[in-house]
Structure formats: C-alpha cells, structure tokens
Chain A
Amino acid sequence: MQLMPLKSKSFTIYYLSEKAITLEFGNQIEEKTSIRISQFHSKLKEFPFEGLLAVVPAYTTLSVFYDPLLVINSKRLSGLDCFERISNYLTELESREDRSMASESDLISIPVYYGGDKGPDLQAVADHTRLSREEIIRLHSSAAYKVYMIGFTPGFAYLGGMPEQLATPRKTTPAKTVPAGSIGIAGIQTGIYPLSSPGGWQIIGQTPIKLFDVNRAKPALVKAGDIIKFSSIDLEEFNQLKQS
C-alpha cells in the first residue's frame, strides 16, 4: 500500500497532495543539504514548468505546488498523471548541467536593540549562561546565521548557527504577548518574532525592522538560504529606524 517514492541522483520524490510533491535531499540538518536545496530552487525558478504555483524550501526538502489542470493539459510535460509529469520534469531538470552555481542567497543585516524593556529576558539568559550581558550581546551579534526555512508564522525564520554558549531553555510559562520584532533564544535556537504573538522564547532584544509586511511585494524580509547578521544599536537608533 505504501507508495514507492521515485529516486533521482540527488533527491527522492514523494507525493504530498493532489497539488504538491516534495523532493527530499537528505535526512539531517546540514549546510550542504541546504545549499543543494537552494541551488535546485534557483534552477527551478529559472526553468519553471507550466502550472507551477509555489516552491517551499525546508531543512531537507523542497516542496513544489502546482495547478493539476494546467499540468495535466500541458503539451510540454510527459507522463500519465501529474505526479509522473512533474517527477519526469524535475529529474530531467536535475540532470541538466548547471550553467551557474548561483544560489540566491542574500546577506541581511538586522539591527537589534538588546536588553532594556525590548529584551526583558536578557538577565535570565545571563543567569543561565553565566555570561555577562555585554558578552551575550557580543556573541549573539558576531555570529552569522543561516536561514534554513520560513515556517510557523508568516515570515518566521528558522536559523542555524547560534554560538552554543548562548543556549538557554524556553521559559516555563510563555509570555502572553511578545511584540513583533522580538529576538528570542529557545534551547540552541535563536529567532525573530515577525508578528506580535504569545511565545515562550527568552527575549533578549528587538529589531525596529519589519520582518513581515503585507504591503511589500515580498512581505517576508528573509528567505530560506539567506545569511543573517545581527548588529547592536542604541535606543536612539532604534527609535529613528522604527519611525522611518
């Protein structure tokens, strides 16, 4: 009864729904898997098939959403059903030589005001890690973070690369409201809340930049594959940036 997934050289293809299939590039969270996913994603963007609606990268997968009617009626795709047609197309696309190895990765700098009322849990992180507040800020803002996936809520980035010394467990009781732009730590993860919501992460600061804004053509500021760096700003800069 289990459906046999198809295999190509670098990914396994499986059925997600009548409107989507998923390519699986590996089975653990690794930088090299993430790079292969963004490279194939760029290739697919350059050579889309008829009926392609959306492509969703995650840690180890790339999911491809499509309009079944356009796919089944496309004269350029071959195969008995949508799954076969898209699998054939993507397998062929993969075997095509890469003209460029470019993956569309941007370096994004995010200004953060650490501590104060914007980072009410900075002291809790200091107590847990036995680092000074200054040392936490220095460590957090000197690392480069890889965006592995956008998920959970609109524009929420799953980041890899936080210095291990900063790891702090979540709060035992989640805060009722975490303001949009809050920077948090949960275990070995760090992240930014794009929207105001309840949350259990230790909040160490806040960015005045909007991570998600429906009035932008691309509402999410960061995408999977990007590299993020945080820079420490003072309250005056925070307020200026918030207004602009």
Chain B
Amino acid sequence: MLLRILKPGLLSTIQDLGRMQHLAEAVPVSGAMDQVSCRVANIVLGNPENSAVIEFTYHGAELYAETDLLIAFSGDGAVLSVAGEELPSDRPLFLPANTHFSLIPGIGCRSYLAVAGGWNVPVILGSASTYLMASFGGLDGRTLKENDVITSSEVLGTLSKRILDNFISTEVNYPHWAASRAAFLPSLKKVVRVIPGREFTWFGAESLLAFLSDSFRVNVRSDRMAFQLEGPLIIRSKQQELISTAVAPGTIQVTGDGKLMLLMADSQTTGGYPRIAQVAAVDLPICAQLKPGDDIFFEDISRKEAEKLYLKQEQNFRELKATIANKFG
C-alpha cells in the first residue's frame, strides 16, 4: 500500500513505541507521545502494537491513497475527512486507490495513522522512531514533507489479511464498532496523577501544597522533548545542587527559576534539575494531547497505585487484542 503526502501539516514523523536499548549512550526513548492511540490504531488492524505509525501534530495534513489502503486513525489532534465527510477513529478504515483525505481540527494535539502491516521504514537502533535532533530513524531522520510516498510492509500478518478481506471494497468502508480508546484513559483529562520524585522534599511546604492544588498552564515552548508549565513558582527549601542523574519521560523537573518542566518522549536521558514528581505512565497519553494554554492539576498517588494502574492498562490491551482476534478468527 502506498500513501502520498500532499501536505505534511505542522510536524509529522514516523514513530513506534520507541527504543530503550541505547539509553546508556544518551539516545532518548522517542516513540509515539500518546502510546495509547498508537497502540489502539495498530491493534484494530491486527498489527503488532509496535508497528510504525505516522504521528501528526494538529490538523492540516493532506493525504492521497496511491493504492487501496487499510488504515486506522486514533488520537485527538485531528479528525480524518474525505470529501467533507468525517471518518470515525479507532477502527479499520478501507480507502480505495485515488482517495484524497485530510486532517481537520480535533480537540487535542496529536493523532496517529497506522496501516495494515505497518509503515515500512528502516529499523535504526531497534526502532522505527524518528529522533529529529540527531537526524535518524523514521524517514531519513526527518519530518515528512510534500510529495513523500511511504509504503507499508509487504508482508501482512494472518489477522491483518483477514481484516483486509473483510473490508475490501470499491468505496470507503468501515465497521460500525470501534475500539474504546476511552477505556484506556482516565475520565478526568485535566488531572494528571504523579508519584513524588526523589527530590520532592527539597521544596518548601507552601510550594508542595501549590504543586498539588493549583493549576498549571502549558506554555507555548512545549515540544516532543519537554513541556514548560506556567504556574505558582516552586521554591526550594534545600539549596543543594543535584548531581546529574537519569530521568525518564514523565519526570517533572523544577528549573532554577522555579518553573516546572515535564519531560516527554524525546527527553534527554540525564538531567541536573531536582525532580519533584513523576507522571504516572498511564497518564502520559493525556499529557501528549495537551496544547499550549491548556490547564492541568496534579494529584499524588503512591508508586504501588501507579504500578497497579499500569498493569491494569496492559491487561486491557491484552483483552482488546483478544477481542480483535476473535472477531476475525
């Protein structure tokens, strides 16, 4: 299957679930910012969850099916549209060759386009993810641009093949069911659950209270590396310098001027700012959908609760995969 990029939109890159194996060499994890949407889009096509997808930022992209396509679209950054008609998310979509489709405004920031078999790009250091700063991964280490033609892997798995046979048509075709992406996400989109970080006690009581009760606004200087958050200044009571150590996506650092920095997928692997908290892994997908100007609150939970939530989410993914396999079994 072949897809032509007529207009790439603001920032479009190939991503998968990222690379962990080279952290000691300071190669960031990268991968889809909203991993729930990325995984759902792959699962409904019968793909391995880690297959390469396109990550779009907001709307604006225009695309063209050079051949018949079996795709899935997920995430909140945009909605797919064909000739003025909106196409639903979180399910297989069959588009016949020569279909012109576009991304129209959504309510969040990022969306994912998966294809049956996965987009075919070289695997670099164990992953298809694009890391723009070092120009590797994805499509030649860069963002997608006008007239790029990307292909899917030629070999389809048994399940993907069955799904394709089910929906192949001469016109746009899709089922009435959808995967319930909401089931993977917390109901409160403005409350981000956090686990106290190693340097939590470096901050004064008033600042800690503000951190866990006031709202914080996403600054315009926010990207795949980190989000800067505006809110009450978080003041240290302990004037010790932190010796640089490992950080991870989801780490919330407090910079020298008392501002919060939430590290995301392309974050550096080590950092020297005190870590006030770590965002629960299950809440990172809602962070990935935040736009400049959005307000969030933090609520603290224990590491045990965070792990339980994580394992429960993985259980939900196993169930979704089983459901899709049964439907087409």
> Interface of A with B (CB < 8 Å)?
1-3, 14-20, 22, 24, 27-29, 53-61, 63, 65, 68-69, 72, 81-83, 149-156, 158, 195, 197, 212, 214, 218-220, 223-224
B195 with A69: CB separation less than 8 A:
no
A-B interface contact total, Cβ < 8 Å:
139
B21 with A54: CB separation less than 8 A:
yes
> Which residues of chain A come closer than 8 Å to B306, judged between CB atoms?
18
A15 with B303: CB separation less than 8 A:
yes
User: Given A54, A60, A152, A214, which contacts B20 in the complex, CB threshold below 8 Å?
Assistant: A54
B20 with A151: CB separation less than 8 A:
no
B243 with A151: CB separation less than 8 A:
no
A54 with B248: CB separation less than 8 A:
no
B314 with A56: CB separation less than 8 A:
no
B133 with A153: CB separation less than 8 A:
yes
Instruction: Please name 14 further chain A to chain B contacts, defined as beta carbons within 8 Å, in addition to the given A19-B281, A56-B24, A151-B26, sorted by A numbering.
Output: A2-B200, A3-B196, A15-B198, A16-B198, A18-B306, A20-B246, A22-B198, A54-B24, A63-B246, A65-B248, A81-B303, A155-B25, A156-B26, A223-B25
> Which residues of chain B come closer than 8 Å to A56, judged between CB atoms?
23-24, 246, 269-270
B245 with A58: CB separation less than 8 A:
yes
Chain B interface residue count, CB cutoff 8 Å, equals 44
CA distance A8 to B271 in the complex (A): 25
A68 with B245: CB separation less than 8 A:
no
B246 with A2: CB separation less than 8 A:
no
B24 with A150: CB separation less than 8 A:
yes
Q: Is the interface of B mostly helix, strand, loop or mixed?
A: mixed
B261 to chain A, nearest CB (A): 15
> Which residues of chain A come closer than 8 Å to B26, judged between CB atoms?
150-156, 220
A3 with B310: CB separation less than 8 A:
no
B244 located at the interface, meaning its Cβ lies under 8 Å from any Cβ of chain A in the complex:
yes
User: Given A16, A61, A154, which contacts B27 in the complex, CB threshold below 8 Å?
Assistant: A154
CA distance A60 to B216 in the complex (A): 32
User: Given A3, A55, A149, which contacts B303 in the complex, CB threshold below 8 Å?
Assistant: A3
B280 located at the interface, meaning its Cβ lies under 8 Å from any Cβ of chain A in the complex:
yes
> Which residues of chain A come closer than 8 Å to B247, judged between CB atoms?
16
* Given known contacts A22-B198, A154-B134, A60 and B246 CB-to-CB distance under 8 angstroms: no
A101 to chain B, nearest CB (A): 21
CA distance A16 to B23 in the complex (A): 14
B311 located at the interface, meaning its Cβ lies under 8 Å from any Cβ of chain A in the complex:
yes
| 30 pairs of residues in contact across A and B, judged by CB atoms under 8 Å | A2-B196, A15-B195, A15-B278, A15-B303, A16-B251, A16-B278, A17-B249, A19-B281, A22-B245, A27-B243, A53-B20, A56-B269, A59-B243, A59-B244, A63-B245, A69-B314, A81-B303, A81-B307, A82-B307, A83-B307, A150-B24, A150-B26, A150-B269, A154-B25, A156-B26, A158-B244, A214-B136, A218-B25, A219-B25, A220-B22
CA distance A57 to B22 in the complex (A): 12
Q: Mark B278-313, 1 if CB is under 8 A from A, else 0.
A: 101100000000000000000010111011001100
A104 to chain B, nearest CB (A): 12
User: Given A28, A149, A214, which contacts B244 in the complex, CB threshold below 8 Å?
Assistant: A149
Q: Which residue of A lies closest to B25 (CB)?
A: A220
B60 to chain A, nearest CB (A): 28
* Given known contacts A151-B270, A212-B134, A214-B136, A18 and B307 CB-to-CB distance under 8 angstroms: yes
Q: Mark B223-242, 1 if CB is under 8 A from A, else 0.
A: 00000000000000000000
A58 with B25: CB separation less than 8 A:
no
CA distance A135 to B311 in the complex (A): 60
CA distance A143 to B137 in the complex (A): 37
A17 with B251: CB separation less than 8 A:
yes
Q: Which residue of A lies closest to B272 (CB)?
A: A151
A15 to chain B, nearest CB (A): 5
B268 located at the interface, meaning its Cβ lies under 8 Å from any Cβ of chain A in the complex:
yes
Q: Mark B138-164, 1 if CB is under 8 A from A, else 0.
A: 000000000000000000000000000
> Which residues of chain B come closer than 8 Å to A14, judged between CB atoms?
198
